[in-house]
Chains A and B, each alone.
Chain A
Amino acid sequence: MKRFLVLFVPFVLASSIGGAPAWSAETETVFKFYCAQCHGLGGKGDGPNVTKDFPVTPRDFTSAKEMDKLSDADMKNVILDGGPAVSKSPLMPPWGKTLTSEQVDGLIKHLRKLCKCKGKQG
């Protein structure tokens, strides 16, 4: 029994600890896989696609000043339908046929973490 507890308890602890932040770990993977191409691995708008020929500056997600201009609904629209949905550049492509709604919701939370801001309310 003792041996069972020794084996079982750490397992339960590990799964509950591992379970809580699972969405954020996955969201970070999603961010790095899709968004970082232009927005950079740290979200500063400096991904490898941003060469001197790149005609626009991708949004710096760490800038609370910039990110506060957007509500969560604005961000969702841009992610799903691309930049033109909010009169921005088509270089931000529409991800509506690529990402799941859970991934999009996770990304919005992730971006709020990066900017440490709540965004435009309502």
Chain B
Amino acid sequence: MKSILKAALSTAFLIAAASSSSAEPAAGKAVFEAKGCAQCHYTDGPAREKTIDDQLAKKGPELWYAGSKFQKGWLAGWLADPKPIRPLKFNSLDEENADDHPKLAGDDAANVTDFLMSLTVDAVEAGVIKPKRNVKGKQIFIKKMPCSGCHQASGRKGKISGGRSGPSLVGAGERLNPDWIYAYLKNPTVFKPVKAMPTFAGILKDKDIKNVATYVSNFKAKKK
């Protein structure tokens, strides 16, 4: 009898735990919809874009794999106090980023974070990339296939340099899931079937894609 009671109690606990862990994502989803976030970001995968026009029609990045792409702590902070990630306006080559992304207050930011972090995908395998200094990755990033042509990064003494058409990679190691960086470089069309960035899979060897992901995932934000 005691063991039945114990089992019943633990089942009840598990149900309660499961429902409470999904409570915030549900609340976050409601906020996401109420605040009109879905006007610029879609959250139901798989990827919809088939043509350049499809990509250009989007007002903001897709978020259907946000939970596999971002780091939770960074996302919560960014939603509460967003700062431009792209130097230029999304999908534009001649307009500056207006730095006008809506802010979410207190609980809303936390709940939307929980909602977005619940959007994970199997295409990102966990535990593959460990952020650390990587000489080969750096060599590819700077010289062999210069990612810096389109992406800003922090160099010596925190000097930020690099191209402006892609998202900045300053602090990428605090923003992005290291395993997502690798998954994206290895199989980009799962996430972004139409993208302005060249596909390097099939050009760089898998171990070098891992080297780049390891190097980029070690990028820290500029020291203040």
Contact = CB atoms under 8 A, between A and B. Distances in A.
B222 interface: no
A54 B144 CA distance: 15
Contacts of B163: 37-38, 48-49, 51, 54
Interface of B: 52-53, 55-56, 87-88, 93-94, 143-146, 149-150, 161-166, 196, 198-203
A37 B162 contact: no
A48 B52 contact: no
A105 B59 CA distance: 30
A49 B145 contact: no
A38 B166 CA distance: 11
Interface of A: 29-30, 32-34, 36-38, 41, 47-49, 51, 53-54, 82, 90-91, 93-98
B204 to A, nearest CB: 10
B164 A51 contact: yes
A90 B145 contact: yes
16 contacts: A30-B52, A33-B52, A33-B55, A41-B94, A47-B93, A48-B87, A48-B164, A48-B165, A49-B149, A54-B149, A90-B144, A91-B149, A95-B198, A97-B201, A97-B203, A98-B198
Given A49-B165, A51-B163, A98 B52 contact: no
